[in-house]
Amino acid sequence: MSLRGFSRLVWVEALLFLREWQAVFLTFVFLPLLLFLFGAIFRREPDVSLGGFAPGDLLVPIPIAIGLASNAIYTLSGPLAVARERGILRRFRVTPLRPWAVLAAQALVVYLMTLLAALLLLALAKLFLGLRAFANPLSLWGAFTLGALSLFSLGFLLGSAFPTARLTYAVSTSVFFTMLLFSGVIIPLDVMPPFMQHIARLMPLSYVLDLLKHAWLGRGHWPWPHDVAVLLASTAAFTLLAARAFRWD
């Protein structure tokens, strides 16, 4: 497929994304509302015990991580299972449009939409909530992209592993809320009992959130090699498993 053809495919996928009001609402409405809620609750003066940051500064990466996870789980896995179940992917095989190009275009659109939402959240945090954290742009983009790779590969794995769309949505929903519960998004890791902390170490979202937090606080380009190593390993593992489980019909 030519670059021009792929660009047109990306444009079509972007229009399809914008037609899904649930994805648009969650990405561009719910996440900013969540950010403002955090700002209203935790907007206080800097605390020495927090390294000079205000409590609200530490919470900004949470809606970004939620946006990555929700779009990876719901916007990629579910539609992939539906397209396979309805025979849409199979029809692509007899056209000049290659199925892999459709999957790549979907992933790129979801990445760009989630990145746009993350930039919106950062702008709102800086302009309207008075948050003091300084994000290193390169570090933050790298953390976001690495988190997207890991979670998107998990989304493709969930969309490939189950025979029906209904089962895919059921399992994906269970995985999504399990990650929210055990990754530090809802309950801080330091207040979890030991058994929950052990489970949290198995959740890729835990490492995504941790890496985003340190990038948002401006602590170097790659301050946590362990997070990077785990996310790279999980991306490779999820991608390999998804490729083995994937079928066009």
Rounded percentage of the chain residues whose pLDDT exceeds 90? 27
Q: How confident is the model at residue 7 (pLDDT cuts 50, 70, 90)?
A: confident
Q: How confident is the model at residue 123 (pLDDT cuts 50, 70, 90)?
A: confident
pLDDT of residue 40: 73
Taking the alpha carbons at both ends of the chain, their separation in whole angstroms is 22
pLDDT of residue 149: 94
The closest of 49, 42, 231 to 149, measured between CA atoms, is 231
HSE-up of residue 4 (Cα within 13 Å, Cβ side) = 0
Amino acid identity of residue 162, one-letter, is F
Amino acid identity of residue 238, one-letter, is F
pLDDT of residue 248: 73
Give the model confidence (pLDDT) of 45-96 as tens digits: 666 555 566 666 777 889 999 999 999 988 888 888 888 888 777 776 666 6
Give the model confidence (pLDDT) of 216-226 as tens digits: 876 655 557 88
pLDDT of residue 60: 82
Give the model confidence (pLDDT) of 228-245 as tens digits: 999 999 999 999 999 888
Rounded Cα distance, 207 and 233, in Å: 12
Mean pLDDT of 184-197: 84
pLDDT of residue 112: 94
- CB–CB of 159/80 below 8 Å? yes
CA 123, chain centre distance (Å): 19
DSSP sequence for 78-140: HHHHHHHHTTHHHHHTTSSS-HHHHHHHHHHHHHHHHHHHHHHHHHHHHHTS-------HHHH
Buried b (16+ CB within 10 A) or exposed e, 205-236: bbbbbbbbbbbbbeeeebbbeebbebbeebbe
Q: How confident is the model at residue 177 (pLDDT cuts 50, 70, 90)?
A: very high
Which DSSP symbol is given to 162? S
pLDDT of residue 214: 83
What CA–CA distances, in Å, run from 111 to 94, 115, 146, 201, 224? 28, 6, 11, 25, 23
Mean pLDDT of 15-40: 85
Residues 6+ apart with CB under 8 A from 151: 68, 69, 72, 73, 204, 205, 208
Query: Is the whole model's pTM more than 0.95, yes or no?
Result: no
Report which of residues 129 and 165 the model is more confident about.
165
